Structure 1
Amino acid sequence: MCGIVGIIGVEPVANRLVEALRRLEYRGYDSAGIATLSAVGLDRRRAEGKLNNLASRLENDPLDGLIGIGHTRWATHGGATESNAHPHSTDKVAVVHNGIIENFKDLLEDLERDGYLPASQTDTESIALWVTRELDRGASPREAVAATLPRLRGTFGLAFLFAGDEKLLIAARQGSPLAIGHGQEEMYLGSDAFALAPFTKQITYLEEGDWAVITPQKVEILDFDGRPVERIRQVSSASAALADKGNHRHFMAKEIAEQPETVSHTLAHYIDLSNETVSLRESLPFDFAELSRLTITACGTAYYAGLVAKYWFERYARLAVDVDVASEFRYREPPLAENGLTLVISQSGETADTLAALRYSAREGQHIAALVNVQESTIARESHVVFPTLCGPEIGVASTKAFTAQLTALASLVIAAGEARGVLSASRAHELVRALIELPSAISEALRHEKSIEGLARQLARASDVLYLGRGQMFPLALEGALKLKEISYIHAEGYAAGELKHGPIALVNEEMPVVVVAPSDELMEKTLSNMHEVAARGGKIILITDAEGVAEAGDGISDIIEMPRVHPFVAPILASIPVQLLAYHTAVFMGTDVDQPRNLAKSVTVE
């Protein structure tokens, strides 16, 4: 959730770049910097820590220039140091970047053969060096960017500033949002419209795969293949409040779309992306290797995140796990194992039942860990260790990006536990970390299926009852899919373990009931398909969520298929969250419900 700003101005831009960056502080960061084009060429100022440190540096050593870019960085590849802070620059180009470049090591190896050497530990510098090599070979700035973008694998929001051209910025988006602001003889660029609110309300949002050539006179937007495209110019309301829907109809839609970025941000906290290892920043008051048992307790969607984590911890760390709904746990008064850990999960950190469960466990002498999005919350303050999800404010009542951030953090903890307990070898742990690193780009690809999912949602909106099925770690996703549909569309839905189908739910199946099956190709898919064909034999209308290999295995008799990218089975539950969220969202939109504030529900349940 780093922040990007850019200005092509008619007066010096340095102070305004800092002002815009201040409006992005809510996204989280640990260093900041700006670059401008002045009489001496590309020049930059960077600082560790908060923006006040950067502002102080600029007071002592000002920057001139009528064009510039700025960035607030959350450390991913390399620590939170000045040398790793953005912008990264050569004598020809400066770059700021949100996201993760998965293949940066391959890019740097290629560049080093031609003598282009990095000065930082970041993935971003590979972009600056690649563009510089293209420029050295005679390419124009536009040609250099066009040649570079197809080489990047991963997620990115990018802004480029070029030496010798004080009227040009180039921006690109893949999995990380960007907005272009239109002014009077000036142009602006930002991670969201809120950053640009002091300067303009006229906003054009880049869509996935877009890149833009920005000059004071015009904005030319191209798709990934270099074809010109038109994007709507609209009036933003972002100046009125921090929370702005951008070009989305609802906050929920915006928060679904943010997930490549929010998952990247969460990963950056738990993973050393340069070495592709788990590197927890938290000082643990317990040793994973010595824990006797793990108790996870939470409510609603957070509870389903805990259910996924049970599969993970038991399989990859051989740590026995109990998962409880917090409202039941607090009254059941369960006996808790000596030297056990209780992990409570809450987006807000204020959920009343979860807080009560925490306090019960603390009285029973348990280690207490909290997985929360609000680090100043009551649950965080009363825990021995806090694992943050860092996904930024979530406005929609139905949780989306908080859920995938919770799963991402939990997956990282599982790898740490598996290594500490001697279950995961270094190579196996690296395999799982690599799967997590590749996840944001897979989420971006999954989001490109939104139009086809919208069409299926129109059919789902005609149903009065919907059944969701999943096996293994996909069973909690069936529960979550059913919950999402109930929450915002008010259609009755139930999630079941697919193997339980013949123990009752199959009696409900008829030609009027859609059955959503979450079944990416894994060792359980054959059994899930068997259950699915039992539904088809009884006239049930099946919507199958799977990958290309799953489509090939499924055969005939499937009404509709939502095809997702193929990912490692470890991270498949996180990716599967995207289609179940989109299916529920578009069903609710079609039915005309209040998607962001569904009836009878509150974002944070702070009373029993």
Structure 2
Amino acid sequence: MCGIIGIAGQTTVADRLVDALQRLEYRGYDSAGIATFSNGSLDRRRAVGKLSALRKLLFSDPLEGTSGIGHTRWATHGTVTAQNAHPHMTDTVALVHNGIIENFKDLKEDLVSNGYTFEGESDTEVVTQLFTFHLKQTGSGQGAMKATLDAIEGAFALAIQIIDEPDVLYCARKGSPLVVGIGEGENFIGSDALALSGLTNRVIYLEEGDWAVISPDTIQLFDHTHTMVYRQEKQSLNTGALVSKGNYNHFMLKEIHEQPIVVAQTLGKYIDYSKRSIDLGDLPIDLSQIPRVTLIACGTSYYAAMVAKYWFEKIAKVPVDLDIASEFRYRDAVMAEGGLTLLISQSGETADTLAALRHAKEKGQIIATIINVDGSSMARESEMVFHTYAGPEIGVASTKAFTCQLSVLACLVLATAKAKQSLSQEDEQQYVKALEEAPSLMSMALTKEDQFKTVARDLAKARDILFLGRGVDYPIALEGALKLKEISYIHAEGYAAGEMKHGPIALIDENVPVIVLAPSSEIYEKTISNMQEVLARGGKIVLISDDAGLQGYRDDSLATIELPKAKSFISPLLYSIPIQLLAYYTAIAKGTDVDQPRNLAKSVTVE
């Protein structure tokens, strides 16, 4: 989940490489570096930490050159040191890498036996030395590229510069995303189209196993058999304006506030508001014939899938299996013939989810994906793609992508229920009406921001925090705990409220705040009973509910926050706002790095 950039150009590129790395820093920020051909040799600058450290180094020690490669790192093999930072170099080769080379130890042993030495622990250094070896053996960049790709195993994206071709860049992808950008008198390489924002909006998405030779004037593409191929050029919608923080202090806060708009945009793609009905367009399958749905995702997307399981089974009357992507392949699941496997990923490149997709396809499943990035690997390998319209999400902790995923899932559930005749036209209109109201209710929740800020000051003093919810609000409790852990580093856990008495209640004392999500609904009284169990043991409650739910409990709680009354169907959308704001302002109170929390990266492209 590192970020890669390359420019084959005709003017000095160092500043533009660093600017592009800034757009990629959400992919990793343990260290960063760039390399160019300058003054007759390859040269590089590397720095540990945020990109600002590299900028500072380049200010004091500039780097010339009209073509070059850059990298921002999320550490896998090798600790966070300058030695393990990219680019890795020999006298003739500079190389950056995203992914994991699984056979690097065997390759390293072979290289050592041939007299090669290593200064660090990284698998990337092994690839650099291997490419150098094959360059010497074959005498050409293309020959070295073929031999290296035939030798390495794993998931990777590579960008390479060699001393004998200073204006040429080599790149390859297998299991990790890479795009080629087309310019005027210069061409580009990037981990995603967002990296190329401001450089070009003309892109070619490399397919699995592809590699390329890029010069300022030419682009040559090859497939995994090393046969020259043609790939279609596409227009990227990403622009520099989309990745600005605007007037907000952090991307995360900006993205929280964008949710009413992007949820409305996403719903608008799947709802015919004139008829108050769901319209998914022409699908290649008959939803009425789906015997079973398998939902697969990781992290926050998994909690969106958990909400959808409740919806599918209650509304569409379709049985659902729910799997964490990283576990799915290893339990050898029995899958229904003709079943639908629905995979959810913000980036469309999540390594575990992509591997699960391919496994489900081998099992004969119909494959559908919900993604936020057009042209991603999962989009290209799916039979059906349901796009979210969240726009680029830069904050590492997902917010608007999550609620847009919920929006698409809600529409897909209703479409399935309608196809299976589990839903009357009148009921469909009522559900659609609730979805139609969701963006305005989310906007109303955002007006409570000062209350969340006040509560967060108390939460920031805690070492442990619990989140409770029932029904569709249980996954939101899990998501709330995840958000808090991600950016504030406070230990937090989410529980189904009824499970408190089966163990977790032993943790309760006056030092453990408990955040209860309890909209007034048919299971409201059950949740409140569990809340009373916490209060009886000295626990400090933060109760989040609507006006009816808050009546009679204001004096017993650490805090109460009122949200507008909403249909239980859309409460996951509405109650996502408070858990995000609580996490955000708790992190602010603790002084942590909200947009770039330690040890995390946005796009998880390694297993």
> TM-score of the superposition, structure 1-length normalised?
0.60
Report what 2:296 is aligned to: 297
Report what 1:414 is aligned to: 413
- Cα distance in 1 for partners of 2:563, 2:575 equals 8
Report what 2:461 is aligned to: 462
The alpha-carbon deviation at position 285 of structure 1 amounts to 2.4
- Cα distance in 1 for partners of 2:242, 2:372 equals 17
Report what 1:396 is aligned to: 395
Alignment partner of 1:584 is 2:591: no
Deviation per CA, 1:207-264: give whole Å up to 9, x if none. Answer: xxxxxxxxxxxxxxxxxxxxxxxxxxxxxxxx97651111100000000000110001
- Cα distance in 2 for partners of 1:554, 1:316 equals 32
Report what 2:258 is aligned to: 258
Q: Which amino acid aligns with 2:557?
A: I
- Cα distance in 2 for partners of 1:475, 1:341 equals 25
Alignment partner of 1:478 is 2:477: yes
Asked if the contact 1:293–1:321 (Cα under 8 Å) also holds between the matched residues in 2, the reply is yes
Alignment partner of 1:269 is 2:276: no
Alignment partner of 1:249 is 2:254: no
Asked if the contact 1:285–1:367 (Cα under 8 Å) also holds between the matched residues in 2, the reply is no
Report what 1:140 is aligned to: none
Deviation per CA, 1:48-104: give whole Å up to 9, x if none. Answer: xxxxxxxxxxxxxxxxxxxxxxxxxxxxxxxxxxxxxxxxxxxxxxxxxxxxxxxxx
Report what 2:364 is aligned to: 365
Asked if the contact 1:529–1:554 (Cα under 8 Å) also holds between the matched residues in 2, the reply is no
- Cα distance in 1 for partners of 2:240, 2:319 equals 49
Alignment partner of 1:508 is 2:492: no
Asked if the contact 1:473–1:573 (Cα under 8 Å) also holds between the matched residues in 2, the reply is yes
Q: Which amino acid aligns with 1:341?
A: L
- Cα distance in 2 for partners of 1:293, 1:582 equals 36
Report what 1:280 is aligned to: 280
Q: Which amino acid aligns with 1:355?
A: L
The alpha-carbon deviation at position 555 of structure 1 amounts to 6.1
Report what 2:379 is aligned to: 380
Deviation per CA, 1:479-534: give whole Å up to 9, x if none. Answer: 00000000000000000101100100000000000000111111111000000000
- Cα distance in 2 for partners of 1:336, 1:489 equals 39
Report what 1:315 is aligned to: 314
- Cα distance in 1 for partners of 2:251, 2:589 equals 16
Q: Taking every aligned residue pair, what percent have the same amino acid on both sides?
A: 60
Alignment partner of 1:331 is 2:326: no
Report what 1:353 is aligned to: 352
The alpha-carbon deviation at position 553 of structure 1 amounts to 5.7
1:323 aligns to what SS in structure 2? strand
Report what 2:189 is aligned to: none
Q: CA RMSD in A?
A: 1.5
Q: Taking structure 1 as reference, are residues 553 and 521 closer, same or farther at Cα in structure 2, changes over 3 Å only?
A: farther
2:468 aligns to what SS in structure 1? strand
> TM-score of the superposition, structure 2-length normalised?
0.60
Report what 1:186 is aligned to: none
Asked if the contact 2:271–2:279 (Cα under 8 Å) also holds between the matched residues in 1, the reply is yes
Deviation per CA, 1:181-214: give whole Å up to 9, x if none. Answer: xxxxxxxxxxxxxxxxx9xxxxxxxxxxxxxxxx
Asked if the contact 1:296–1:323 (Cα under 8 Å) also holds between the matched residues in 2, the reply is yes
- Cα distance in 1 for partners of 2:240, 2:298 equals 33
Asked if the contact 1:533–1:557 (Cα under 8 Å) also holds between the matched residues in 2, the reply is no
Asked if the contact 2:497–2:527 (Cα under 8 Å) also holds between the matched residues in 1, the reply is yes
2:266 aligns to what SS in structure 1? helix
Deviation per CA, 1:19-76: give whole Å up to 9, x if none. Answer: xxxxxxxxxxxxxxxxxxxxxxxxxxxxxxxxxxxxxxxxxxxxxxxxxxxxxxxxxx
Runs in 1 of length 4+ with deviation above 6 angstroms?
none
Asked if the contact 1:465–1:514 (Cα under 8 Å) also holds between the matched residues in 2, the reply is yes
Asked if the contact 1:470–1:478 (Cα under 8 Å) also holds between the matched residues in 2, the reply is yes
Q: Which amino acid aligns with 2:379?
A: A
1:386 aligns to what SS in structure 2? strand
Deviation per CA, 1:404-449: give whole Å up to 9, x if none. Answer: 0000110011111111111110000000000000111101100000
Deviation per CA, 1:446-493: give whole Å up to 9, x if none. Answer: 000000110000100000000011111111001000000000000000
- Cα distance in 1 for partners of 2:242, 2:482 equals 29
The alpha-carbon deviation at position 557 of structure 1 amounts to 1.7
Asked if the contact 2:242–2:391 (Cα under 8 Å) also holds between the matched residues in 1, the reply is no
Give unmatched runs, 5+ long, in structure 2: 1-197, 199-238
Q: How does 1:184-263 map to 2 (within 5 A)?
A: 242-263=242-263
2:538 aligns to what SS in structure 1? coil
Q: Which amino acid aligns with 2:422?
A: V
Q: How does 1:99-118 map to 2 (within 5 A)?
A: none
Q: How does 1:413-562 map to 2 (within 5 A)?
A: 413-552=412-551, 554=553, 556-562=555-561
1:606 aligns to what SS in structure 2? coil
- Cα distance in 2 for partners of 1:555, 1:461 equals 22
Asked if the contact 1:296–1:343 (Cα under 8 Å) also holds between the matched residues in 2, the reply is yes
Q: Which amino acid aligns with 2:267?
A: L
The alpha-carbon deviation at position 375 of structure 1 amounts to 2.0
- Cα distance in 1 for partners of 2:569, 2:464 equals 31
2:556 aligns to what SS in structure 1? coil
Asked if the contact 1:295–1:343 (Cα under 8 Å) also holds between the matched residues in 2, the reply is yes
2:493 aligns to what SS in structure 1? strand
1:245 aligns to what SS in structure 2? coil
- Cα distance in 2 for partners of 1:413, 1:601 equals 31
Asked if the contact 1:461–1:591 (Cα under 8 Å) also holds between the matched residues in 2, the reply is yes
Q: Which amino acid aligns with 1:606?
A: T
Asked if the contact 1:349–1:380 (Cα under 8 Å) also holds between the matched residues in 2, the reply is yes
The alpha-carbon deviation at position 284 of structure 1 amounts to 1.9
Asked if the contact 1:375–1:386 (Cα under 8 Å) also holds between the matched residues in 2, the reply is no
- Cα distance in 2 for partners of 1:350, 1:544 equals 37
- Number of aligned residues: 371
The alpha-carbon deviation at position 335 of structure 1 amounts to 1.1
- Cα distance in 1 for partners of 2:426, 2:240 equals 50
- Cα distance in 2 for partners of 1:272, 1:595 equals 38
The alpha-carbon deviation at position 286 of structure 1 amounts to 2.0
